[in-house]
Structure 1
Amino acid sequence: MNTATRWAIGAVGLGVLLAGCASSPGDIAPSEPGTSTTTSAPATSASAEPESPFAFEAATVAGGTVDGETLRGHDVILWFWAPWCPTCMVEGKEHVADAIARMPEGVEFVGVAGRSDDFAAMEEFLEWTGTGDATHVADVDGAIWEAFGVLQQPAFLFVNDDGTGTRAGSGLSAEDIVERAEELASS
């Protein structure tokens, strides 16, 4: 499957997951730190149902694999980062590591390391930031990022078990992340 086809499938999948967004899928990083957009999935007919953005299988940085479909129907936070991203490094160390340690029961936190095939750099990133207690998948070719419409990092996608989602870019504190996780867990 070529890049244009994967992008088109991902854009349709994101549209189902995040239909009604005020911004385009590429506008992951809001203009003000910590702002986000709430969306819900529309009803679709069975014959027109696009491929889910969760339709992936990826290697984890730690050496296992994750089947993305196992995340669908659950409360999950996806954190899109890159090992060469200085903003990701700082936010990971100063905010995300603390939030991971305080995740409420029933909410899974999954990091999506993208746009790199350097597993050593990914491992170093996790060690330096202290975020290695969560599952982190390696999105070497950017296909998972594309499926969710992520064009820049860091970015967060907060997905409720009913398929509704909220996305945010850079600027979330540990408190912001944990508060949103608690909202997922309680709904």
Structure 2
Amino acid sequence: MKDTFKCKGCGAPRQYITQFCPECYSTGPHDPIDKKPTRTQPAKHKSTHDDPWLSNTRAEEKSAVKKRKETRETEVRPRTFKERQSTSETDDNREMRSLWANEKKSNRKPISKKTWKYAAIGGVVVIAIAVIALNFGTITQQLTNALNRVSAVFAYQPPAVPSAASTNTTETKPVTSNTQTPSNNGTANTNTQTASNNSTVTTTINNPEPAKDTKKPVLEGKPQPLPSDTAVTITWKTDEKATSQVRYGTDISYPFPSSEINKMELTHSIFINGLTPDTTYHFQVISIDGAGNKMEEGDYTFRTEAVTDESPYIGSRSPNFTLSTLDGKTVSLSDFRGKKVILNFWASWCSPCKIELPHLQATWDKHKDSGEIMFLTVAGSQSDEDIIRSYIQDNNYNFTVCLDPGDSVFNKYSINSIPITYFLDKNGVIRRVQQGMFTSPGEVEFNLNSY
């Protein structure tokens, strides 16, 4: 189709009156070709085709872009890994790369002797530091031993010359001489040594005996008696380790000695049982140290407590009783003064009582060899003796079972429900009471260790 219009802005030929002009971005309306533009319609933009200076500049720019592209294609440079994987290297590029590598290698400066010297010194220093670090402990020990030897040399003192006036140990030293040895076969005494053409010099060394200890132990403070109705525990302290004993009685003659504890201790404790309730006693404490020095200190007194019929409670004295056991023996609660006592009341028909007995047995097995704990159980009158005996044997229980056929002990302790367990200290004082059954040995241990 023949162009019938020319652009209104740049004058380029166009087919339509409203066709878009890519040169000057004009959209028309364009002028017909045979119609000249009027002065009132000047061109908005000049085309590069009509301006020679703009045309030359554009041509130079295109030439420069083409030249840069050619230079970039022929330029020798290290290629990336992706380039080596994606394209194959031509012979020309390979040759140019080799030339570039050789040129780079030729430009390297040789390593000077001074550099090699410093490198060698640095390597030796690093190796020395590593060796010292690995053998630091050995080197330190060797240095310590050397310093100890040097210190021993400077600290050495020659032995003192023994005194010639002492008389215990005899030492004979031969001395060179031109004289003959004494008569009687040249022997001065049986402890001397002689030699031909030698004279004998006799010296003796005195070994003084250590000073004998004549000081008796000294009592610190006053003895502390802790009486009950039929027993007492007496404690005291001395300034040095010594034995323990107490003499006591109702007068100052102290007719009754307690058992003596030969263990050397600073704190002493003696337990005395079998006393009369509500009675005043006199006593003195006795301690003997390792050198045999004896201390006797008195007169001290204490009074035993009176027996009451009051119901027991925590902090009160536990009522004493005497009962027969399954083995046919007779035991009294007062026989165990000086020990902690676990006193349990139960019956053969009581299910909770049977549930807790294994826990009590476990505690008894743990402490029975210590000699400081006693475990007693009291079975009431409604329990059948044969049933109790078979039950104890079937379960391999080895604690002491007391029989209370008349409920006299139950009444004395005001027992209204079972099981119930009393924990007594060494003086028979009630410290804790467990109403109801134990569910584990740990509960028993907790009560036992709480006082």
| 2:447 equivalent among 172, 176, 180 | 180
Secondary structure in structure 1 of the residue aligned to 2:446? helix
> How many pairs are equivalent?
141
Q: Offset at 1:73?
A: 5.1
- In structure 1, distance between residues paired with 2:417 and 2:394: 21
Over the aligned positions, Cα root-mean-square deviation in angstroms equals 2.5
Q: Offset at 1:115?
A: 2.3
Rg larger for = 2
- In structure 1, distance between residues paired with 2:415 and 2:311: 10
Post-superposition Cα deviations, 1:76-122, rounded to whole Å, max 9, x if no partner, equal 010111011111112213x2221221236301000111123621111
User: Quick check: 2:347–2:383 contact (8 Å CA) kept in 1?
Assistant: no
Q: Percent identity?
A: 21
Q: In the alignment, is residue 40 of structure 1 matched against residue 315 of structure 2? A: yes
Post-superposition Cα deviations, 1:12-60, rounded to whole Å, max 9, x if no partner, equal 3434xx2xxxxxxxxxxxxxxxxxxxx2128xxxxxxxxx621x22110
- Residues 148 and 87 of structure 1, relative CA distance in 2, 3 Å threshold: same
Secondary structure in structure 1 of the residue aligned to 2:433? strand
> In the alignment, what sits opposite 1:65?
330
Post-superposition Cα deviations, 1:119-155, rounded to whole Å, max 9, x if no partner, equal 1111123234443x11110011111111112122111
- Residues 11 and 156 of structure 1, relative CA distance in 2, 3 Å threshold: farther
**Residue identity opposite 1:41 in structure 2:** S
- In structure 2, distance between residues paired with 1:89 and 1:71: 25
Q: Offset at 1:72?
A: 4.3
> In the alignment, what sits opposite 2:437?
171
Q: Offset at 1:165?
A: 2.4
- Residues 124 and 71 of structure 1, relative CA distance in 2, 3 Å threshold: same
Q: Which has the higher contact order (CA 8 A, sep 6+)?
A: 1
Structure 1 segments, 4+ long, off by >4 Å, are none
Q: Offset at 1:171?
A: 3.2
Structure 2 counterparts to residues 1-187 of structure 1, below 5 A: 12-15=309-312, 18=313, 39-41=314-316, 53-54=319-320, 56-72=321-337, 74-93=339-358, 95-103=359-367, 105=370, 106-116=372-382, 118-131=384-397, 133-162=398-427, 163-172=429-438, 173-184=440-451
User: Quick check: 1:11–1:146 contact (8 Å CA) kept in 2?
Assistant: no
Give unmatched runs, 5+ long, in structure 1: 1-9, 19-38, 43-51
User: Quick check: 2:352–2:437 contact (8 Å CA) kept in 1?
Assistant: no
User: Quick check: 2:345–2:380 contact (8 Å CA) kept in 1?
Assistant: yes
Give unmatched runs, 5+ long, in structure 2: 1-306
Greater alpha carbon shift after TM alignment, 58-67 vs 114-123: 114-123
Q: Offset at 1:11?
A: 8.8
User: Quick check: 1:113–1:138 contact (8 Å CA) kept in 2?
Assistant: yes
- Residues 142 and 175 of structure 1, relative CA distance in 2, 3 Å threshold: same
> In the alignment, what sits opposite 2:253?
none
Q: Higher helix proportion, which one?
A: 1
- In structure 1, distance between residues paired with 2:436 and 2:395: 16
Secondary structure in structure 1 of the residue aligned to 2:341? strand
- In structure 1, distance between residues paired with 2:377 and 2:353: 11
- In structure 2, distance between residues paired with 1:66 and 1:103: 20
Secondary structure in structure 2 of the residue aligned to 1:14? coil
**Residue identity opposite 2:447 in structure 1:** R
